[in-house]
Chains A and B, each alone.
Chain A
Amino acid sequence: MNILHDERLDGALPRVDKQALLLALRTELPDLEILADDEDLKPYECDGLSAYRTTPMLVVLPQRVEQVRAILAVCHQRGVPVVARGAGTGLSGGALPLAQGVLLVMARFNKILEIDPSARTARVQPGVRNLAISQAAAPYNLYYAPDPSSQIACSIGGNVAENAGGVHCLKYGLTVHNVLKLEVLTVEGECLTLGADSLDAPGFDVLALFNGSEGMLGVITEVTVKLLPRPQVAKVLLASFDAVEKAGSAVARIIGAGIIPGGLEMMDNLAIRAAEDFIHAGYPVEAQAILLCELDGVEADVHDDCQRVRDLLEQAGASEVRQARDEDERVRFWAGRKNAFPAVGRISADYYCMDGTIPRRELSRVLHAIAELSGKYNLRVANVFHAGDGNMHPLILFDANQPGELERAEAFGGEILELCVKVGGSITGEHGVGREKINQMCAQFNSDELTLFHAVKAAFDPKGLLNPGKNIPTLHRCAEFGALHVHAGQLPFPELERF
């Protein structure tokens, strides 16, 4: 099954006359920057999921909210699909363009409108980069907590659309926990304020609904986020284990002891080796697993907790526990983890990053199953795991230039996600469904649940013009996907490639 929009499975798209649309937009918005030539459109043909590309019909780069509203009006009136895009760093193809649609690039909305230290909020345009918010708040000793690994590049509008996470979610929450207020435009041209500057707003929690809605319900034009006081200190412990199970049990012990680490990350041997090779973080390359445990907060508490965690790690059978001696070493310990993806990129022509979540207790069972699948598909896997919140990132290594390897990687990834669902987890923890996991949505939800999701979509976008084909599969797609499965998730003819 192909990931690109398939009208047979995803619904027909309107036939749009490109020249007529271009003329309409130029007439309506003479000063709007529009890209219409193939060579100009090329850079926009994919987001961070670069294995899949579609050239958009047009790219528009508005700079004012009024322009966005007018673009939506023109498209709404003519029945033209609109795909919104922030910085294009998304990993699930949520901003994958449509050949029959307009790509609405919000990157020019890059102004920080207000940092209010007394309210501890930042009001920003949607194209502002995640890290830029923390940088702007730094003089007040405040910061914005969610830190997806792409934070130097990704935009806050995209973070909201994906409900982005990061390595500090267990303690500080996801994007949805850190956004106070949104200004959005519906496809029908209504400006809505969702949430408020106060901690709650009257009515349904439409703010929560928009977080993670992947550009399906409206276009975000302004974001107000909460800022937190920077923790006084942060300390990191690095523990090595000769078995993944021991690392898993250490995680349960730490949480069970009532300690909520700022970050709690696990890497397996292949990931450790790749990261050490690349960053020289001082990781133990013989270890089967390492845990990085960051404790942050007020100095006295962090000091006590470090001792507690050290004891728990040793009780769980850690072969070595090291505490970063200084800030330099702390940063180096983290650098290995934060560069795990590019590090794996150095030992393989391509890699495919998965994003399933599981209840933590299922970790060793799932890792064993992944190892078995690795044999079955004859592809290596490096495992990187947000152990604190159960979010796994198995990286499937493959070479797209070898015929059939991409398809094998996809099928392998699909099986991992279905396994996550089976043990009570989810197909996506923080990267979103987009196009990438559109088929696995059929494993996570039944047709009644999907029908309700479509009803929610229709409440905001009855014509289905915003990001069609993403996030929620059609029942038709699921029927076809289901037909590929026989009982107990066993695929018929697993040796065959599937498209």
Chain B
Amino acid sequence: MAVAEQDESTALLEQVNQARAINTPLQIRGGASKAWLGRSLRGTVIDTRSHCGIVNYDPTELVITARAGTRLADLTRVLQDNGQMLACEPPYTDDGATLGGMLAAGLSGPRRPWAGAVRDAVLGTRVITGLGLHLRFGGEVMKNVAGYDLSRLMAGSFGCLGLISEVSLKVLPIPRCQAHIALELDAHSALLKLGQWGQQPLPISAACHDGQVLRVRLEGGDGSVRAACERLGGEPFAPSWWQALNHQRLDFFQDPRPLWRLSLPNNTAYLELAGDQLLDWAGAQRWLKSDADPEHLRKVASAQGGHATCYSPGLTDSPFQPLPAALMHYHRQLKQRLDPQGIFNPGRMYAEV
């Protein structure tokens, strides 16, 4: 199936300029697969999905460039046909997620601690700015230190700094061999084991503990994966489990209590918190279903050197952990300089930007 292809950048630019002319905020929307994350938005919807298609892809360069509205499901299929993948494993690809939304939200899947985040794969972007200009930053080469790294700054900025119209990404070959093993362990022992394994050259590419079972994905050449399987033991399970984790379709996520994401240093011990926990990223990303006080969770996460994000809309006015005043000052400075009229997704991340 061919990927839909359409250059609508002129129309998008025009829409931005109209909004600037009448000083009206825009809410940028792709597949709306993550629209519930962050603060709620007002403003005219600007839909990027019509601006889609792969602009350039040469598998031997390990780089793909596509328009922001390209559906991730389409993009990953094209890569797959060439034996390649987005190593950062973005979530919600089944829910219509787009490339632009992937970069704007900056969310990465189970492979993140070993293969890097969305921001690590970004090589270049085209962005429609708050001054109504369509600009290009970075490029299609692995190494490029000309000018400031605006492309990576866009990763995780939730559209607050500009409208991402095109993205160039580094892609990687799909590993030749995969194995999936499950080990029955409690969370404390699982974290201890993961800590030890992390210091060894093992081909681990995902590690998640759901309360009872530690699931590990091994990826690499035949030899290393086989050797690691023999060493670590455990029972095999179906690889589709990782998609269910990444798309939050596991039973754990059906619990009606609010969902929190705790991002923590990878050697953080098991935290005794009210509610249920699911430990992903070898312990560096912990999902929590809990009625605990947001303030308390943030204090706990900060004390460990991490932070907490609320994934349940409406629970708190600041789903993202509030920033120290000095850092917020420079966030506001950046916002004012790049989007002086406050057109793009104002308030999506923080009320101040």
Using CB atoms and an 8 Å cutoff, list the residues of chain A in contact with chain B. 116-121, 140-142, 162-163, 165, 169-170, 173-174, 176-177, 186, 190-194, 196-206, 208-209, 211-213, 216, 229-232, 252-253, 255-256, 258-260, 297-301, 303-305, 357-361, 386, 388-391, 424-433, 437, 441, 444-446, 448-450, 452-453, 455-460, 471-472
Contact = CB atoms under 8 A, between A and B. Distances in A.
Given A163-B145, A258-B173, A199 B106 contact: no
Interface stretch (B45-53, B150-158, B179-187, B240-248): B150-158
Interface in B153-175: 153, 155-157, 160-161, 172-174
B43 interface: no
Interface string B134-151: 011101111111111110
Contacts, number: 272
B201 A229 contact: yes
14 contacts: A162-B145, A198-B266, A199-B285, A202-B320, A204-B153, A208-B152, A216-B148, A229-B199, A232-B201, A300-B223, A424-B141, A448-B131, A456-B337, A472-B148
Contacts of B112: 199
Interface in B235-264: 263-264
Interface stretch (B4-12, B28-36, B114-122): B114-122
B326 A190 contact: yes
A425 B141 contact: yes
Closest 9 CB pairs of A and B: A300-B223, A301-B221, A258-B173, A208-B152, A429-B143, A298-B224, A197-B305, A459-B333, A389-B142
B263 A199 contact: yes
Interface residues of B, number: 87
A426 B327 contact: no
A205 B152 contact: yes
Nearest to B198: A120
B306 A456 contact: no
A428 B146 contact: yes
Nearest to B200: A229
A120 B194 CA distance: 12
A200 B60 contact: no
B83 interface: yes
B109 interface: no
Nearest to A359: B61
A453 B142 contact: no
B223 A426 contact: no
B149 A204 contact: no
A190 B333 CA distance: 14
A441 B320 CA distance: 37
A297 B330 contact: no
B13 interface: no
A204 B146 contact: no
A192 B157 contact: no
A358 B58 CA distance: 14
B141 A205 contact: no
A116 B152 contact: no
B299 to A, nearest CB: 14
Contacts of A211: 149
Contacts of A458: 337
B55 to A, nearest CB: 12
> Considering residues A165, A192, A256, A452, which has the most beta carbons from chain B within 10 angstroms of its beta carbon?
A452
B195 A390 contact: no
A441 B146 contact: yes
Given A203-B323, A360-B60, 8 more contacts: A173-B120, A205-B156, A299-B223, A424-B141, A448-B133, A448-B135, A449-B136, A452-B129
Given A198-B307, A203-B349, A453 B117 contact: no
Interface string B317-328: 000111110111
A208 B61 contact: no
Given A202-B309, A204-B161, A427 B146 contact: yes
A426 B173 contact: no
B142 A170 contact: yes
B330 A459 contact: yes
